[in-house]
Chain A
Amino acid sequence: MSTRTFPGLGLWKGMWVTLSTMFKTIFMPGKHLKTVMYPDVKETPVPRARGVIALDQEACTVCMLCARNCPDWCIYIEGHKVEVPPDKPGGRVKIRNTLDRFDIDYALCMYCGICVEVCPFDALFWSPEYEYSEYEMGKLMHDKERLSEWLATVPEQPEIAQ
């Protein structure tokens, strides 16, 4: 517990803290300045940051696991089956699922990462990009082309401790 000492001493102590911090930030900004002039200078987010979800269209098999596990059901998936001709004559006709629609409504998304976690085919990734705010709420619905564009920004994951 702080005891009362010389009257006004606490005030001078407080003044000294602000004054020394001011001189530190003026003369050693590299070490002590913490603020960033945002639109001109940008901080790099950590690689694990959950910014936006990137989609690898080739890997998606329309299994709907992500859409079903989403806590607020903001993923909309539609697909259809295509018959793929056999590789060699006499082989079986394969049936492949192809993706027609993959929309994520970022106005609803809670950024929990469950969809990325449950995807068994490595089709969804987290990207730390964050600059995709819009003036209209409807534009936050990202379709599969827009989601695929984020794929280039997916970072390498850091080394882990053990």
Chain B
Amino acid sequence: MTLDQDLVRHLSEVSVSVELQTPEMTLNIGPQHPSTHGVLRLVARVDGERAYDVRPVIGYMHRGYEKLAEVRNYPQITTIVNRIDWVAGYANEIPFITAAEKLMELEVPPRALWIRLILTEMARMASHLIFMASYPLELGAQTPLFFALRERERVLDLLEGVTGGRFHPNFNRIGGVKPAYGSGSKTRKLVQDLPKTFYEETRRAMDEVLHACDQLEDLVAGNEIILARTKGIGVLPPEVAVAYGVTGPNLRASGVPFDLRKVENYLPYDQFDFQVITTQNGDCWDRWWCRLQEIRESAKIVQQAIDSIPSGPIQAKVPKVIKVPKGETYVRAENPKGEMGYYLVSEGGQGPYRLKIRSASFSNISVLPWILEGVLVPDIIAIMGSLDFVLGDVDR
């Protein structure tokens, strides 16, 4: 006996609408739900299996860094901005330091810029590898977590070997990178350049990371369950993404080739050959794919930078007490999550008068009410995870 498919679907819909009258209810997800990457609370109006009017409630992790920055001097603020997006702490320092240097009109030595670039790309890899670990986990696949975190450990070991910190490197100083172990007579000689074994270890680690990207692709890309849960889910059209200020891989997955590494000149990215990865569909799967390709591009940039790193000083001549002249500037940079910018207003003192922080995740999750309108409840997690935000970056 063959069943008429149209008839079966029709009957089931009738039975749902007649027998299971579902009242609307308000569903709170979070603020301490394991899949919300922190203390994000979502308030959704749920009608059966569909969610409407999803409203993200933020502010549970507000630490007031903009205010804290006003009562600290410039070297101290570097430690604070590390903690905004803790998954890629190093990438947060770059736009802030560049903003202060821009006001001081400092010329940074090329070797320092190269070191900054290498470590920023490593931070990008670390951040995207966390996404590679957590996103399949949110969809129910545990195995990719171990592969991704193993590679992340490799990258973080390199970062730690240079800066001394895994999450909060605090390595940039105004005018270059960390100049010395200490300023005393004995330790002044221990100028902290890259360790001697760094180049070789990095070359090896980048090969391993590229190999692991292939492994991750084999693990996830062919999996029918993950494909069914991500393809065509949470489609973000380019005009909506631009209207909400979505940046980073989320925007590029929607087909907009906007990458600040190509647009701005805060680091010498124009010396390197890399692609801006874009995909056309803008669904969850494309966002995953975009990030995987970006890890590969970052590894290629690091490989090129290791080969072409110039020698020379790593610190420009700066006065011991750093005072930034009066003025204001906005510097933006490509964080792993998107555009990160600092609007720095200086009155000529040792600390900023005002520091406005534009973080990527805040704008990226502001698209949640639009993108989660009318989706199935299980898809909330899939879509939210694919936007890859960090609550420290949202609330600051």
Q: Which residues of A contact B (CB under 8 A)?
A: 1-2, 7-11, 13-14, 16-18, 21, 34, 45-46, 48-50, 59, 69, 71, 110-114, 116-126, 157-162
**Interface residue? B150 (CB, 8 A):** yes
Given contacts A46-B157, A119-B183, contact A162 B170 (CB under 8 A): no
Task: Give the 3 A-B residue pairs with the shortest CB-CB distance, closest first.
Answer: A10-B222, A122-B184, A112-B79
The CA of A120 and the CA of B198, in the complex, are separated in Å by 29
Partner of B279, one of A1, A8, A50, A162: A1
Partner of A18, one of B143, B170, B224: B143
Partner of B182, one of A50, A71, A117: A117
**Interface residue? B23 (CB, 8 A):** no
List residues of B (139-160) whose CB comes within 8 Å of A's CBs: 143, 147, 150, 153, 157, 160
List residues of B (87-135) whose CB comes within 8 Å of A's CBs: none
**Interface residue? B215 (CB, 8 A):** yes
**Interface residue? B196 (CB, 8 A):** yes
* Min C-beta distance of B201 to chain A, whole Å: 11
| CB-defined contacts of A7 to chain B, threshold 8 Å | 224
Fill in one digit per residue for B148-179: 1 if any A CB lies within 8 Å of its CB, else 0: 00100100010011111100101000000010
Q: What are 25 A-B contacts defined by CB distance under 8 Å?
A: A10-B221, A10-B222, A10-B227, A13-B222, A14-B220, A17-B219, A18-B219, A46-B161, A48-B162, A69-B76, A110-B168, A113-B164, A113-B170, A117-B178, A117-B181, A119-B183, A122-B182, A122-B184, A122-B185, A125-B187, A126-B181, A159-B196, A160-B193, A162-B193, A162-B311
Once the chains bind, are A10 and B224 in contact (CB under 8 Å)? Answer: yes
Once the chains bind, are A118 and B223 in contact (CB under 8 Å)? Answer: no
Partner of B160, one of A46, A113, A121, A158: A46
| CB-defined contacts of A159 to chain B, threshold 8 Å | 195-196
| CB-defined contacts of B279 to chain A, threshold 8 Å | 1
Partner of B76, one of A11, A71, A119: A71
The CA of A41 and the CA of B19, in the complex, are separated in Å by 61
Given contacts A2-B221, A160-B192, contact A114 B197 (CB under 8 A): no
| CB-defined contacts of A118 to chain B, threshold 8 Å | 182-183
Once the chains bind, are A119 and B217 in contact (CB under 8 Å)? Answer: no
Q: Which residues of B contact A (CB under 8 A)?
A: 72, 75-76, 78-80, 143, 147, 150, 153, 157, 160-165, 168, 170, 178, 180-187, 190-199, 215, 217-224, 227, 279, 289, 311
Given contacts A48-B164, A69-B75, A158-B196, contact A116 B170 (CB under 8 A): no
The CA of A132 and the CA of B217, in the complex, are separated in Å by 41
The CA of A13 and the CA of B227, in the complex, are separated in Å by 15
A-B contact count (CB 8 A): 121
Partner of A48, one of B78, B161, B168, B222: B161
* Min C-beta distance of A25 to chain B, whole Å: 11
Given contacts A10-B224, A46-B160, contact A157 B181 (CB under 8 A): yes
Once the chains bind, are B164 and A50 in contact (CB under 8 Å)? Answer: yes
* Min C-beta distance of B133 to chain A, whole Å: 14
The CA of A8 and the CA of B227, in the complex, are separated in Å by 12
* Min C-beta distance of B196 to chain A, whole Å: 4
Q: In the complex, which residue of chain A has the Cβ closest to the Cβ of B76? A: A71
Using A48-B160, A120-B184, A160-B193 as known contacts, list a sample of 19 further A-B pairs with CB atoms less than 8 Å apart, ordered by residue number in A. Answer: A1-B279, A10-B218, A14-B222, A16-B218, A18-B143, A21-B215, A110-B168, A112-B78, A112-B79, A113-B164, A117-B183, A118-B182, A120-B183, A122-B185, A122-B186, A125-B187, A157-B190, A161-B196, A161-B199
Interface-central residue, B170, B178, B180, by most chain A CB under 10 Å = B170
The CA of A110 and the CA of B311, in the complex, are separated in Å by 32
The CA of A8 and the CA of B221, in the complex, are separated in Å by 12
Interface-central residue, A2, A111, A113, A158, by most chain B CB under 10 Å = A113
Once the chains bind, are A17 and B218 in contact (CB under 8 Å)? Answer: yes
Interface-central residue, B217, B218, B223, by most chain A CB under 10 Å = B218
| CB-defined contacts of B222 to chain A, threshold 8 Å | 2, 9-11, 13-14
| CB-defined contacts of B170 to chain A, threshold 8 Å | 112-113
* Min C-beta distance of A65 to chain B, whole Å: 9
Once the chains bind, are B168 and A121 in contact (CB under 8 Å)? Answer: no
